[in-house]
Amino acid sequence: MAELSGVLVRTAVFLMVEVLVQGGAVQSPDTQVGCVFGGSCVLPCRFQPNGDTILHWVKRNGKNVQVHSYYDDQDQLGYQDPLYKGRTSLFHDQISGGNASLGLARVNLQDQGRYLCYTSTSQNNQEAFVTLTVRAPVTKVDIVLGNNNVTCQSGGIYPRPQLTWSVSPRPSTVLQNTTEVHEDDRGLYDISGSLRTVYNDTESTYSCSVQNEHSAKKAMMRPLPPMQSAPNSEVLLPCDASGLDDITWTFNHNQTILRRQAGQEKVVETEWQQHVRDLSESGSLLLYVTSSAQSEGTYRCTLRYADEEDVTHIELKILEDPVAEGSHLTLPMLQIIVFLTISALILWLCMVKQPRLPFFTTGYLFQFFFFGFIFIVFLLFCCCNAQLIASLI
């Protein structure tokens, strides 16, 4: 008997919902709700409480889609559309107080549309509409400097965003620029733009703004003139921050060197700890550079603000010393040749020019010690470069 009455109640309710909705009775205006993509939100609905409550949330987009039902003091999800499975909830403890609001989790773009909140008690029936729109705000804009262009990109945005460039100082001509927008499989937009710049320009700053109706973010690129440094030395990479800025230094775009958040100590990545000597109040980085293979590349100082990121871009070149580089082989070889030549010359002078010098004269002693000295130096030299000599033989 109870089952039968339950079925009757349900059938009656569905028919009523249909009639009410199709009938287009005079309604109060829809409540507008904006939900963030991927987040949770509440579709508000209030009614006059009076004992037993029957409650239906139905989405109206051409046809009725069952979102959530409640009667006999419990959720009734047998007819719930699979699109809403596991994502809806009511505030059960507040239904008796007239709160029929619906909680919706993991919001996606298909959830957009008009929802009917239908409530029925022994005293009266009520309906209210909620229009749900979804937004995915611009969260981050990446800007990268190329040889003769600046590129900028952002993603996961809804509704469709726009991208605009501004250049300071204002260029005399319009700069060639392109923008591409792609829709991903979730219906969100990725956007990227490229601006042709003057070749190797280090006078201008470039700003890229990505925005839609609900949000906007900006990224600014400030290229500095390329810098040079000797290997195994310290170099000061400038940045223009204040002590309160959130600052990050990166190398070759994907390696973080360090980060200093407002009012906190800097955090240096393990592999950079040997290289970072100091970070000044203004964010300038004193770095110990080694070889071109290790330290040459792009250094970027990024300052993060609420709606903007400012990037300072520095190309660092390490000038290897060609003599120091080649010395392992050429210099000792040169020394050997010089030693051998001088020795041979002196030997020849002694043997040929003065063959009949009497024994124990000062001249003879001088030559004896001189030769001995050279011989010992030569031996020492050979010992020290044993490896080299071995490789030569």
State the residues that interact with ligand NAG by CB under 6 A.
Answer: 42, 44, 46, 91, 94, 99, 101, 146-147, 149, 151, 165, 167, 174-175, 177, 194, 199-200, 226, 254-255, 315
Closer CB to ligand NAG, residue 22 or residue 147? Answer: 147
Q: Give the three-state DSSP class for 143.
A: strand
Joined together, the tokens standing for residue 257 give 């060197």
Q: For residues 221 and 206, is the Cβ–Cβ distance under 8 A? A: yes
Joined together, the tokens standing for residue 194 give 């490229």
For 243, left (φ over 0), alpha (ψ -120 to 50), or beta? alpha
Closer CB to ligand NAG, residue 50 or residue 200? Answer: 200
**Closest distance of CB 296 from ligand NAG, Å:** 11
**Closest distance of CB 194 from ligand NAG, Å:** 3
Closer CB to ligand NAG, residue 44 or residue 332? Answer: 44
Closer CB to ligand NAG, residue 101 or residue 112? Answer: 101
Closer CB to ligand NAG, residue 58 or residue 208? Answer: 208
Nearest to 88 by CA among 187, 136, 21, 79: 79
Identify whether 171 is preceded by a cis peptide bond (ω within 30 of 0).
no
**Closest distance of CB 164 from ligand NAG, Å:** 8
Q: Give the three-state DSSP class for 33.
A: strand
Q: For residues 310 and 222, is the Cβ–Cβ distance under 8 A? A: yes
**Closest distance of CB 265 from ligand NAG, Å:** 24
Q: Which residue is nearest to ligand NAG (CB)?
A: 146
**Closest distance of CB 315 from ligand NAG, Å:** 6
Q: For residues 106 and 186, is the Cβ–Cβ distance under 8 A? A: no
**Closest distance of CB 149 from ligand NAG, Å:** 4
Helix, strand, coil content of the chain in percent (nearest 5): 25, 40, 35
Q: Give the three-state DSSP class for 288.
A: strand
